[in-house]
Amino acid sequence: MNNPANRRAATGPAMDLVPTPVGTAGITWHRAPRPVRAVALLGHGTATGVEAADLQALAAVLPGHGISVALITQPYRMNRTRTGSDEASPDAAWKAVWPMAADLGVPVISGGRSAGSQVACRTAEQFGAHAVLALAYPLLGPGSPAELLATGRPTLILQGERDPFGRPDQFPALPSDLELVEIPAANHTFDVPGSSSRPATMRLITDETLRWIERQLART
């Protein structure tokens, strides 16, 4: 699957179209200059797509540090329908797009925001992810402590202080390979009171993510 099945013309980064058992998925690449040290394969939530501010912030920052970013648009989002947003369908699509990252021959950080982080948690061990990045994990549903604790890989959780789907103080005790970072005053989409606070919040997310990825790559 090194060659995409199709490519959609777009303003900005091109989107590769990849057939999956549940429809066509999209991969928007934000490539790091060579040598590439790792790739972050990141999925979106159910309410927003890869245009989410946190995903876009990571896509803007990580390539400058040798980490390519692949933003995955699930088939149900491509088709603008909720059909296929059940648990099994996104996992099946993730399996189909995974070789596009794995074939690069560098460590793959599997992750995403909200529902996308759930897909990463459920599949990380099966697909051989190097680590898991969970943005705004929906602990209180549809996620669960059991799902989060079963990643089998080092995991970074970035969680808003006011996230209604699970505040940091509602998380269970975590083993040493799962790290939880609280994003002050942020909700589930990492919005904070006062528009002037958004750049600082995104900078905190990218800084924490980059420091954590550097630690994970150091153990390669």
How far apart CA 182 and CA 169 sit, in angstroms, is 9
How far apart CA 163 and CA 188 sit, in angstroms, is 5
Within-domain flag for 168: yes
Given a contact cutoff of 8 angstroms between Cβ atoms, the answer to whether 122 and 147 are in contact is: yes
Least confident of 93-107, 147-161, 171-185, 195-209: 195-209
Within-domain flag for 37: yes
pLDDT at residue 40 is higher than 70: yes
**Residues 6+ away with beta carbon under 8 Å from 220:** 107, 130
Q: What is the pTM of this model?
A: 0.92
pLDDT at residue 100 is higher than 60: yes
pLDDT at residue 1 is higher than 60: no
Q: What is the CATH number of the domain that holds 99?
A: 3.40.50.1820
Judged by DSSP in three states, 53 sits in: helix
Judged by DSSP in three states, 6 sits in: strand
Within-domain flag for 1: no
Within-domain flag for 189: yes
Within-domain flag for 181: yes
Domain that holds residue 129: 6-218
The number of folded domains in the chain is: 1
Within-domain flag for 114: yes
Least confident of 21-30, 71-80, 103-112, 137-146: 71-80
Burial class (CB in 10 A: 0-12, 13-18, 19+), 95: middle
pLDDT band (50, 70, 90) for residue 85: low
Within-domain flag for 179: yes
Within-domain flag for 147: yes
